[in-house]
Structure 1
Amino acid sequence: MQMIRAFNETIRYIESVLGGEIDESRVTCLSSYSYAMFSRLFSILTNMTLSEYIRLRKLTKAAVEIKETSGKIIDIAMKYGYESSNSFTNAFKNFHRVTPTQVRNGEAYRVFSPIQLTLSIRGGKSMDVKIQKKSGFAVAGVKLENIDSASCPAVWDQLFAKWSHETLSRLGNGQSYGMCFDMKNGNKINYMACYHVNDIPKAREMGLEVVEIKEAEYAVLSLEGAIPDCIHEGWKYAMEVFLPEQGYMHAGTPDFEVYFKGDMYSPGYTMELWIPIAKKE
């Protein structure tokens, strides 16, 4: 499948420059995504950040070079991005459980192997997905930029610390969204806890941030299960199976977690995931 091929080619490129600088434009050329978006999709598909993957691969390659060559340890450390002997030794020991000098003297070290995406057979299991064009709309709420995914609940806490669900619902049709937008940092996300809004002046008067969303086409996934697990499974299914099979890719515009009434931590909870799509060239 084309998406799997592109992902693996991108990883092979990253592997080839672990001792140097990653050319983000090359990542874009190979994967068809910006470096930040590729990093986000990498996290979705592998359950680890791209920066953590690169860090562990560098420490693995550094250990191999220390073991198999006579190069100075400080030179190897600098090759893989460490500016001092102490910072390299600390990172090396945290991962390998031994020091670089001990590895050179014959101690064993850990190996973190390169990742390769493969097609998995799901036994006929599929999700309810439809392609749907949605008219433009506006949302109002609280947004935080450059945060970890785990910090998203804190954005909702900030919103509800000032305004109740009932008050926010009266601004529009009552629909609440978790919106990810404007990915620029591959290790972080920009997230907005927000509600559909018709009365934009009122929302701004309340001190809420307002974002107007243009008309777009989405892959709409119907999810069932407790959050955040059902969201993660939805993303994996979309990126591994549905979008590649249908010839689509993430369009790079805001995507939405669409929340409905109910116990979000119940296995029977239902919600939707809206992923903006574009045809893959």
Structure 2
Amino acid sequence: MLERFNAALDHIEEHLDGDLAPADLARIAATSEYHFRRLFSALAGMPLSEYVRRRRLTLAGAEVLAGERTLLEIAVRYGYGSGEAFARAFRAVHGTGPGQARRTGAALRAQPRMSFRLVVEGQSSMKYRTVTRDAFRITGSRARIPIVHEGENPAITAQIRGLGRPALDRLARLSAGEPAGLVSAVVHLTGSREEGTEVDHWYGVITGPAAPEPDGAAGADASYDGPGAPDPYESLDVAPGTWAVFQAEGPLPHTLQHLWRDVFTQWFPSNPYAGRPGPEILSVRPSADGATASAELWIPVEHTAPGRPGA
């Protein structure tokens, strides 16, 4: 049964920019339309029509931000007879109109693609925005660490503690770009994201592409010789491009790790973007007691062909 329902979900994805008849979905699922609608609502927690609407407006939102089509073309592509009707539906899902979203790069809500297993994935929305920016530089400390999927990563903890508070304060004052303040950045050395795979982990700040380079090390402030100061800082030049920016808030460190997981297991398969080379940047603002935090995750992406979600 679930196999047939997943085939019906595949059919939805293939026809989001065209005709989509519930009777066809019921036929794929080998059941009546009435039963299909009822079972879908019970499994998904929302009516079939609402899920289709959210998925269409998720893809429409990506096209609005990409700027490759006019707003009217996007409206017609996803089944809206007028720009006004499209704007009303867009605002109901994303909280802002398509024109304003295109002008300001506003944060949009993505409805992940669902799949039926023993549990339903993609039942909650993910808030994201896209940012296109010029080249910049990450300045700070670099360490080779293993990926840890759950719980504290001791290697990252040791790297940060090894810098020392005076050096961290000094480094924070070098921040000259978004996201502001001290950030973590992960550079994947292979295509694997399995636990234990080694990556380059940077802890530092975003600086401009022309940061000073004393003693041959870009971005260093070698005049500072206080306790724990990096001697000197290292730097990583980052090419211009587009970034998908995600927000989360909750207990540490699980909220951060689950955000990373959900981006790659739910958001990418459900949206017309693909990953591109570049560091994945995490900005964390812990609570006073350090138990919770608000976070912003920057993932380098490129827009793919409409209707073809990336990974």
When normalised by structure 2's length, the TM-score is: 0.46
**CA deviations over 1:102-148 (Å, ceiling 9, x no partner):** xxxxxxxxxxxxxxxx6553574222111221332212111112534
Counterpart for residue 181 of structure 1: 187
State the AA in 1 paired with 2:156.
C
Residue 154 of structure 1, aligned match among 153, 158, 167:
158
CA distance in 2, matches of 1:264, 1:218: 31
After TM superposition, where is structure 1 displaced by more than 4 Å over at least 4 residues in a row? none
Flag structure 2 segments of 5+ consecutive residues without an equivalent.
Answer: 1-5, 11-114, 223-231, 306-311
SS in 1 for 2:302: strand
**1: CA distance, partners of 2:164 / 2:247:** 26
Q: CA-to-partner distance for each residue in 1:197-242, whole Å, 9 max, x for gaps?
A: 3543364243000112122211110010133211111122211221
- Which letter maps to 1:177? V
| Aligned counterpart, 2:301 | 277
Partner of residue 204, structure 2: 194
Alpha-carbon offset, residue 270 of structure 1: 0.8
Aligned position for 1:29: none
Give the corresponding residue for 2:168: 165
Return the letter of the residue paired with 2:160. W
Q: Distance in 2 between matches of 1:123 and 1:145?
A: 33
Q: Does the CA contact (< 8 Å) of 1:175 and 1:260 recur in 2? A: no
Partner secondary structure for residue 184 of structure 1: coil
SS at match of 1:218: strand
**Separation of aligned partners in 1, 2:234 and 2:289:** 25
Residue 190 of structure 1 aligns to which amino acid in structure 2? D
Q: Which residue does 1:121 correspond to in 2? A: 120
* SS of alignment partner, residue 181 of structure 1: strand
Matches within 5 A, 1:57-72: none
RMSD: 3.1
**Correspondence for 1:138:** 137
Deviation at 1:266, TM superposition (A): 2.9
Cα drift, residue 254 of structure 1: 0.9
Identity percentage over the alignment?
15
Name the structure 1 match of 2:247: 222
Partner of 2:66: none
Q: Secondary structure at the match of 2:251?
A: coil
CA distance in 2 between partners of 1:262 and 1:270 (Å): 8
Query: Aligned AA for 1:249?
Result: A
AA of the residue aligned to 1:153: T
Instruction: Map Cα deviations across residues 159-196 of structure 1 (whole Å, 9 max, x no partner).
Output: 236x4332112223352111111423842111111112
Q: Which residue of 1 aligns with 2:273?
A: 248
Relative distance call for 1:214 and 1:153 in structure 2 (3 A) is same
Q: Once the two structures are superposed, what CA deviation does each residue of 1:227-273 show, in whole Å capped at 9, x if it has no partner?
A: 32111111222112212111222213211111236448333x21101
CA contact (8 A) 1:225 1:270 kept: yes
Aligned partner of 2:70 in structure 1 is none
Match of 1:204 in 2: 220
Q: How many equivalent residue pairs? A: 166
Of Structure 1 and Structure 2, the greater helix share is in 1
